[in-house]
Amino acid sequence: MEQASADAQIRVVVIDDSEDIRDVLRLAFDRDNEFTLVADAADGRAGVEAVSAHRPHVVLLDISMPDMDGLQALTLIRESSPESAVVMLTGIPEAAAALTAVELGAHGYIRKGAGIPEILDQLRDVLEWRRSSDT
């Protein structure tokens, strides 16, 4: 597989209070030549700042976090970086949280515990859907 140039890579920001999850996703993006992790944050407030600073193609955003939860951060991210696709990442089993996230502007929803290939495929699908809906 051909190595993508840094300009062609999909820029990602991960916002999750679990350092382990951020580390696993960082490793996954490092190994996949389509994605590059441009920033990560442990809470919603820092995540909003990271998204504003980096303007990523996609944001992986945990729903349940301290300081500012993902639903609050989602609203601010959609306002400050409307071009970024936002995919919620959560361990919350309630479908209501996914519905609320979509109503607030999320482009997708991934359950924690999903395998790395599934997460990467879902991110690709969301980005492809966004590209096709913009045309």
Domain containing 115 — which CATH number?
3.40.50.2300
Query: Can you give the residue range of the structural domain that contains 33?
Result: 10-134
Question: Does residue 63 belong to any structural domain of this protein?
Answer: yes
Residues of the chain with pLDDT under 50: 1-5
Q: What angle do CA 108, 37, 22 make, to 5 degrees?
A: 75
pLDDT of residue 30: 93
Question: Does residue 4 belong to any structural domain of this protein?
Answer: no
Per the structure, the count of domains in the chain is: 1
Handedness of CA 24, 2, 87, 11 (dihedral sign): positive
pLDDT of residue 10: 94
Which residue matches tokens 């936002």? Answer: 86
pLDDT of residue 1: 34
Question: Does residue 1 belong to any structural domain of this protein?
Answer: no
